[in-house]
Amino acid sequence: VVVHLDKDEFHSTWLGNKAIYRTRMAIADDGELIVLAPGVRQFGEDDEIDKLIRAHGYIGTPSILEAMNKHEDLQENLSAVAHLIHGSSEGRFSIKYCPGHLTKEEIENVGFKFGDLELMGKKYDVKNLKDGWNTVTIDGVEEEIYYISNPALGLWAVQKRFGKASGEGEDSIAKPLLDNVVTIEKQNSVGNSGGVGGWKKTNSG
């Protein structure tokens, strides 16, 4: 799945992580989410939240809850705790962030894989992509991707995750659920994952 974040609308992962929690139900186990984020220059929308995200990272529910029990800064900011949980794949799929204004070290230090925006933008040229399924050619090899131009406009999911049969087959991706609001009351982490797609927050010393 490839998601584009408009450079004028999304300047932080605090907002940009809609790309994660609104698509997670459409991504297969061991799949990959690529986030093209030309306008992202920070993690939090304010200095305090930015500092918390940099300190703790998107490291999965078990690890964040453990960190909350140990650190007062998280105990005093439960919205940050919720954000850090929602921004993790719980180790089920990988997340490659391609920011316009954050470094490789900054991205990897919060638990994401880093993607070079210029390089990935050439591979997945948003000017030539339409919302939904696309076939792109990368290094002479055809690849099928699902493209989302704005994650704020819907919720994406595979029909079988709702226990319903899809007219297009069990593994087809449903259209954005704009007319039918779906409430997910509980999400369980996969195993005891402390990483994002198998990637754990690196020690910055």
Do residues 92 and 190 touch, judged by C-beta distance below 8 A?
yes
Cα dihedral 127, 128, 131, 135, rounded to 10, equals: -150
The amino acid at 71: H
Please report the pLDDT score of residue 161 as a whole number: 66
Q: What is the pLDDT of residues 143-162, one digit of tens each?
A: 999 999 999 999 998 877 66
Please report the pLDDT score of residue 173 as a whole number: 52
CA distance linking residue 92 with residue 71, whole number of Å: 26
Please report the pLDDT score of residue 158 as a whole number: 81
Do residues 170 and 179 touch, judged by C-beta distance below 8 A?
no
Q: Provide the whole-model pTM.
A: 0.80
CA distance linking residue 114 with residue 80, whole number of Å: 22
Please report the pLDDT score of residue 147 as a whole number: 96
Q: What is the pLDDT of residues 15-40, one digit of tens each?
A: 999 999 999 999 999 999 999 999 99
Please report the pLDDT score of residue 132 as a whole number: 93
Name the stretches of the chain with pLDDT < 50: 164-172, 174-205
Do residues 60 and 88 touch, judged by C-beta distance below 8 A?
yes
Q: Which tokens go with 137? A: 């050619």
CA distance linking residue 33 with residue 17, whole number of Å: 11
The length of the chain is 205
